[in-house]
Structures are given as C-alpha cells and as structure tokens.
C-alpha cells in the first residue's frame, strides 16, 4: 500500500491520458486531430497574452531593481508590526499579486536571510500557498476569454489575498 501511495503521481497522469484517449476512441472521435486543434488554439492564446505577460514581468523587475519594494516595506512598517505581520514580507505580499515567479525570487532571499524554520520563513511559506497572483490571473484569463465586465472579481480576489495573509500569520504563530 505504501508503494502505491508514494508513487501515485507517477501513476495517475498516464492513467488519465490513457483514459482520455480510450474515451475518444470509444466515442469515435478523431483524437489526434482534436489534440492538434487544441494545441493550435493554445498557441493562439499564448501569442495573444504574451504582451501582457511581458509588461507584468517588466514592471515587477523595475519595482524590484528600483528599491521601491524596500521603501514600501519601510513605509508600512509601523502598521504591519501592529498587526503582527513582519514588515520584511510586505514586498512579497505586494509582488505576489503580480507575479509568482518574482515572488519566488523574493522567497529565496527571505529564506537565505532569515531561514526556512524562522517565524518569517514559516509565514512566507504559508503565504505563498494561501495567496494568488491576482493581476496576472485576471489579465491573462480575462484577456483570453474576452471578459470585459469583471464585476466584483478584483474586490473578491484582494479580500481573499488579505484573508490568506492573515491565515499565514495566524498559522505560523501557532506552530
């Protein structure tokens, strides 16, 4: 039983692929042609969202290199410390809303400076799991789906991120 559980990820993906192909053949559909058409549509989507991705990555790089993130952390330090949120993580919380890969770079810096088992390291780990790249996700998916009326999406996403950050602080404090 232990062998199966430890290797489930190695087993599940081929099983799903085989199931999809078998289902397509049983349904008498052209599996390969449908796959190729899907890949073509995927490439069109990638080409369509590429300018947005480049703009987001460039903006994050500029913010990080300019020292703005350090300035932002120092600016909100009194408030964040009153709330129990380490000011060193303010730049991470800000960048995570735009780019997960840029946030990962900040996470590695935090781990190098404070350690993975420190309070700041624990909050960082939990926060990365509890938050989403709001602006990246909204721009990419809404652009791809041609959604123009976002209604309460941004408000809900920001509230969810704030809740994830609060949960990170709470959970790291318990550990």
- Each domain of the chain, given as residue ranges in start order, spans 48-174
**More confidently predicted of 100 and 57:** 100
**57-87 pLDDT, tens digit each:** 788 778 878 988 889 888 999 998 888 889 8
Output the pLDDT for position 4.
66
Percent of residues, the chain, with pLDDT higher than 70 = 97
Average model confidence (pLDDT) for the chain? 87
Cα separation, 157 vs 139, whole angstroms: 13
pLDDT of residue 160 exceeding 80: yes
- How confident is the model at residue 93, as a pLDDT? 92
Structure tokens at 124: 């960082």
Q: CB–CB of 115/105 below 8 Å?
A: no
Q: Is the pLDDT of residue 2 over 80?
A: no
Q: Is the pLDDT of residue 52 over 90?
A: no
User: What b/e sequence results for 119-140 when a residue is b if at least 16 CB atoms lie within 10 Å of its CB, and e otherwise?
Assistant: ebbbbbbbbbebbebbbbebbb
Q: What letter would DSSP give residue 116?
A: S
Question: With a threshold of 0.75, does the pTM exceed it?
Answer: no
pLDDT score of 142:
83
Distance CA 91, CA 112 (A): 16
What confidence tier does 111 reach under pLDDT thresholds 50, 70, 90? very high
């Amino acid at each position: 039983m232990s062998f199966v559980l430890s290797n489930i990820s190695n087993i599940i993906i081929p099983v799903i692929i085989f199931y999809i192909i078998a289902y397509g053949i049983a349904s008498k559909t052209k599996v390969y042609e449908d796959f190729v058409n899907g890949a073509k549509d995927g490439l069109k989507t990638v080409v369509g969202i590429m300018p947005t991705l480049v703009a987001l990555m460039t903006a994050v790089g500029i913010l990080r290199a300019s020292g703005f993130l350090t300035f932002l952390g120092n600016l909100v330090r009194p408030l964040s410390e009153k709330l129990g949120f380490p000011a060193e993580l303010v730049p991470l919380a800000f960048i995570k809303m735009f780019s997960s890969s840029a946030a990962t770079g900040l996470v590695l810096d935090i781990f190098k400076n404070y350690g993975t088992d420190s309070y700041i390291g624990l909050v960082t780990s939990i926060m990365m799991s509890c938050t989403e790249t709001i602006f990246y996700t909204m721009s990419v998916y809404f652009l791809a789906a041609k959604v123009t009326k976002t209604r309460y999406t941004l408000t809900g996403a920001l509230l969810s991120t704030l809740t994830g950050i609060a949960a990170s602080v709470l959970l790291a404090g318990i550990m």
